[in-house]
Amino acid sequence: MKILGYVSDSDGLLDFIKDDIEEHTDNLIKALNDPSEEVREACALVVGMFSENVVPEFLEMHEKVMPVLLNMIKS
């Protein structure tokens, strides 16, 4: 997951992420609910990276992403 975050920062590879953003978002959300705190921490970082680089496609996934982030913060 973390690698994907760094890849999103690359102009050359960004389109590959944007093309499959729905699948990547679903995987990210699954990982945000991972029992391991380390995995959740890494995914939080990826959310930040995607939010900056994969726009507007990732932001359009807000109905999926926001509830999960809010849950993470409340738990």
Q: Where do contacts with another protein occur on this chain (CB under 8 A)?
A: 37, 40-41, 44-45, 47-48, 51-52, 55-56, 59, 62, 65-66, 69-70, 72-74
Return the CA Rg of the chain.
12
- Give the Cα separation of 61 and 75 in Å (integer): 22
Nearest approach, Cβ of residue 19 and another protein (Å) = 20
Whether 66 contacts 21, CB under 8 Å: no
CB of 14 to another protein, least distance (A): 15
DSSP 61: G
- Min. distance of Cβ 29 from another protein in angstroms? 12
